[in-house]
Structure 1
């Protein structure tokens, strides 16, 4: 089967309803919903950067799975929760309550169809906590549906070791990592500028950080004139290719383990097929 045909088999919206019904009824049936954002990514990256990353990594990871595993993906949710980037032209942000209601509404439909799991596959750091809240609310209303709010950059091993300091700690947005990954995936969308920006407000108070154990609720305009929080000057397609490879393999492994696991039920999974990873 061609890669295009395999990809279409994973897209719920490209299947007929009897196919979806049959797949949903299978043990461990799972739906992945990719989430991005429409928000500024500095003067050199497109507004839809997060959504592009979510889709490219997800499609590659799903294509690498055993074709018989019962997993589908939904269309990208391209507009998310991005109030920290307001004030930069083009940023769009949904109200938090609307995001929660949307997750719950779609999750209810999937649960009613018979799916066992929903993975919120999110590539925008600013909506991690909100999607965790939405996932908890959905699980409370549909306890038969397991909900997993995931973040693209959290989970796969070997990512941090590719990123030098201080960018590893303070390169939060449109810096080395995102610029490199975009240079690998869609170089035609990357502008010529390689900004270094993001600390105009000075160092954080002692014991506090932009993100971490004691985070600050920062807005991009507190820190940056360009919209960049980090240093894109060393970005390269070669680094982007390494990041992409590790992201794809990391998520392939996690989806594979999830699909072969009975968690959180006590239902016994079917015997492994010959040749399965």
Structure 2
């Protein structure tokens, strides 16, 4: 953050003061995508969304948290994973300091699917410790409308990692980081028992080596920069609308103990 401490103090005191914290990961993304793919997506999305919001909105951002929780990919070289306990402590420590500075909302904008549940748990624990501050753990790919029709049904269901969507998005955002390979992998191998799934209502705690030899889980063969541009535009539109809605709201509710103290 480029603020001085007096400026940060004034920022935290503003009505509806909000901080966005982008989260990525350093993990294998097949032979064609860089280890920092999720971090690139989170960083570029936050930059684009904040650029669309009016300058007078009470919203700021933290630096990218590039290391995350990625144990499912440790079987591939280059993956770096923090312990779950450290991720929770990190969210707790930084979040409580922001709350003490007066900030009313913390948005964890996460680009890595493997840490969705962990950040949700960390957010719930932080909210209990700092009830005056809303904590919103968000997954980059969940929420914005209009993404589904851009992708084939098979890829929506099976393209869990480094497939069509992620390869296309990187071709749009940073084509110089994309290699020539376009694997189709992890979709014709072993499947969970009937009634269970890789993701969804009855998920399995899968490891990438259970499913793929290349690191890709999906089909990257049809990836294009044009598809990536369409995906990015809808992601930016969707998250801009959500942050505008949050900034226009009175969320979170005032904790009961604060209401009694001010009565």
TM-score by length of 1: 0.90
1:180 aligns with 2:199: no
- Tell me, yes or no, if the aligned pair for 2:84 and 2:118 is still in contact at 8 Å: yes
Within the candidate set 23, 29, 51, 1:35 is matched to 23
Counterpart of 2:3 in structure 1 is 15
* Structure 1, gaps ≥5 residues long: 1-12, 268-277
Counterpart of 2:123 in structure 1 is 135
Counterpart of 1:273 in structure 2 is none
Q: How does 1:89-168 map to 2 (within 5 A)?
A: 89-168=77-156
1:88 aligns with 2:76: yes
Runs of 4+ more than 6 Å apart? none
1:192 aligns with 2:192: no
- Tell me, yes or no, if the aligned pair for 2:127 and 2:133 is still in contact at 8 Å: yes
Q: How does 1:52-67 map to 2 (within 5 A)?
A: 52-67=40-55
- Tell me, yes or no, if the aligned pair for 1:200 and 1:224 is still in contact at 8 Å: no
Q: C-alpha separation between the residues in 1 aligned to 2:190 and 2:80?
A: 28
* Structure 2, gaps ≥5 residues long: 256-263
Q: How does 1:213-232 map to 2 (within 5 A)?
A: 213-232=201-220
1:205 aligns with 2:193: yes
- Tell me, yes or no, if the aligned pair for 2:27 and 2:78 is still in contact at 8 Å: yes
CA RMSD of aligned residues (A): 1.1
